[in-house]
Amino acid sequence: MTATSRRLVAVILAAGEGTRMRSAIPKVLHPVAGRPMLGHVILAAADAERLIVVVGPGRDDVAAYARSIRPDAIVCVQTERKGTAHAVLAAESAIADAAKAGIEDCIILFGDTPLIAAKTLASLRGALAAGLTIAALGFEARDPTGYGRILMDGDTLMAIREHKDATEAERAVTLCNAGLMAVDAQQAVPLLKRVKNDNAQMEYYVTDLVALARADGGKTGTVIADEAEVMGVNDRVQLAQAEAAMQSRLREKAMRDGATLIAPETVYFWADTIVGRDVMIEPHVVFGPNVSIADNVTIHAFSHIEGTSIGNAAQIGPFARLRPGSEIAARGKVGNFVETKNAKIGMGAKVNHLSYIGDASVGVDANIGAGTITCNYDGFGKFRTEIGAGAFIGSNSSLIAPVTIADGAYVGSGSVITDNVPADALAVARSRQVTRDGWAKRFRASKGKDKA
């Protein structure tokens, strides 16, 4: 049986208090690239037929978040903290039920390892499919201090020794335990129930499963991952390090998928940002959640974009702010110091500078002059502005919603528009200019006498 034909139950340990985070927010809900760490782990285990999340007592927020991603997630509570094996046993009945249902693979994960990749979990499962009872995930550590050591004999995993329990010779080993482990699901619960706490910490270690499996004649081995991928997060410093690593991963993916990032280290992606081919992203661009960018788009420097879809060959920025609900159609232009919110900018339409377009639709090839504002809020409710195809809105105009500027209509510069404008009409709403010849000369002379 191959790994792809086997079924999986994933157990994610997410009960840690995270006291070193110095936060009221549970550790696993702190975001990396905008997505809580637990979310990254859940998505990495997307192939799991059954997903179990072990939470601490009273952590309904963690449970609710897990179910927001996996509505079928099974939530188990670890009422006491007595080690990793004890934490997994909080899910004893759920793991046993999975085994009874014929599920072959069980993977134990941690909710604070946001960089773990699905392909690495597939490698662990592949080791089980090849006949191992247990496959532990290891990494070569630059500094192994504090990590459990993986003790090998050829290709066989002999034991995992916690740092505090290791001999000096064992502490010289640089192959370290990442914590994640794949176990034959049929044997997981019987092995877990035999774990003892006769160690320096007086805790029940899930790593002891290796020795127990070997004592039963099982085969054990190791899958090697990159150190950065298995990084755990325990404090704000490590959170920042995980963020940096995730951003590097997202930037590399965008570039390998066909986008140009002029200064990659200055561009910040959200975990769900979608970037097309032949996209040009200039320096200091920040993406929030739910952004989709089609091909051939140019995003100029210092733009901030969230909750927005951008069509083919559109141009954004510099210094543009696109807020949630914005839709920029193909060839649309949103220029410098323009803000949009809940706005549809039609194909080829231009909002080039110094404007706010909120709760509005701008038609195909319409032109919005500098300083235009859609006045969409009266202090109680929001109202829409509809601007038709080919319409021209003169600079420094205020459009008081609800209002419609029909196709091909013109609005004179400096107008305050409160009524609908018919198609192909001109609307001018401003005071008539008054010119007084010689007034300025007389004014200066008067002021000069007063000063003297």
Nearest alpha carbon to residue 233 among 66, 91, 62, 36: 36
Q: Are strands 50-55 and 350-353 parallel, antiparallel or unpaired?
A: unpaired
Strand partners, 399: 374, 417
Nearest alpha carbon to residue 271 among 289, 245, 294, 297: 289
Alpha carbon separation from 270 to 62, 246, 273, 353, 435 (Å, rounded): 21, 10, 5, 26, 55
Tell me how far apart the alpha carbons of residues 100 and 17 are, in angstroms, rounded to a whole number. Answer: 32
Conformational region of residue 33, where left means phi above 0, alpha means psi within -120 to 50, and beta covers everything else: left
Phi and psi dihedrals of 264, rounded to 5?
A: -55, -40
Give the 3-state secondary structure of residue 308: strand
CA angle 83, 87, 90 (to 5 degrees): 145
Per annotation, catalytic residue among 30, 40, 86, 353: 353
132 contact partners, CB below 8 Å, separation of at least 6: 182, 184, 218, 219, 220, 221
Prior bond to 402 cis, omega within 30?
A: yes
119 contact partners, CB below 8 Å, separation of at least 6: none
| CA 179 centroid distance within chain | 24
Burial class (CB in 10 A: 0-12, 13-18, 19+), 100: exposed
Nearest alpha carbon to residue 306 among 278, 280, 328: 328
Active site annotation includes 30:
no
Residues designated catalytic: 353
